[in-house]
Amino acid sequence: MTASTAHPRALAADLLRGVALFGILVVNLPFLANTIYVDAAAWTGADAMAQFVVRLLFEAKFYILFAALFGYGFHGLHTAAVRAATSSGWRYARRLTGLLGFGVLHATCLFVGDILVSYAALGAALWWVRDWSDRRLVRAALAMLGVALVGRGLLGVGVALDPTTPTDVAAMHATATAAYRGTFTTALAQRLDDLIAFYIFTPLFNWPTMIAAFLLGYLGARRRILARPGAYWRRHRRALPWLA
């Protein structure tokens, strides 16, 4: 019996990764096709309806699922390393460093809304909690969700107090569009400028929830909830309303 048959890959996890990537793509497509400065004044009624549907059904939802699957995958990586007697923090650090490198290139050369840098930075936390008890993981995840509520509240206050007018937004959108349609140098400079705004937003909006999802995904892998998902959820169907 080979290692792959002794410990088969959870196909449900791969299926969920595909679903999560689709949802993330739906959210990011407008920013891939445009700038981060939303000029709502130029929207049609169909644009506004599409934005409403995306915010209701997709935004701030699928990245959480993907983050949970990152934690789920870390458990498999760590388990395989322990089984092979090669468990090493340095090996995991090299993987995260490679992820960080790809993230930096992606953020500066392709898309300002990069998440790989965040995964590399926050993924290090999983190494330090790998031996925590289930209860401690749950408590830490709930604490991070509390931090997430505070962070999003601060963002809400910041938006309410933001003195930027629709005219200012339209001007920033026009400037960014011209830069991205210019040379590689002007596009790179604009992307670096946009990254400043992005990394003011991301730590408050994404990071605490991502850490919570990492921890719960890691716990879920311990419980093997995706090895036989149907049987697991039948036993724990009372938890489904809370999950929703």
Question: What angle, 0 to 180 degrees and rounded to 10, lies between the N-to-C axes of helices 207-222 and 62-83?
Answer: 50
Place of tokens 């497509």: 29
Question: What angle, 0 to 180 degrees and rounded to 10, lies between the N-to-C axes of helices 134-161 and 207-222?
Answer: 160
The reported pTM is: 0.82
What single-letter DSSP state applies at residue 237?
A: G
If one counts every other C-beta atom within 10 angstroms of the C-beta of residue 70, the result is 20
Half-sphere exposure of 43 toward its Cβ, with a 13 Å CA cutoff?
A: 16
pLDDT score for 1: 37
Residue type, 144: M
Chunked mean pLDDT (size 10), the chain, 244 residues: 48 87 90 80 82 89 92 82 66 89 92 89 89 94 94 88 85 91 93 88 90 93 79 68 66
Burial class (CB in 10 A: 0-12, 13-18, 19+), 216: buried
pLDDT score for 2: 41
Contact 78, 87 (CB under 8 A): yes
pLDDT score for 214: 94
pLDDT score for 153: 92
Residues 6+ apart with CB under 8 A from 30: 38, 51, 54
Paired tokens of 243:
């999950």
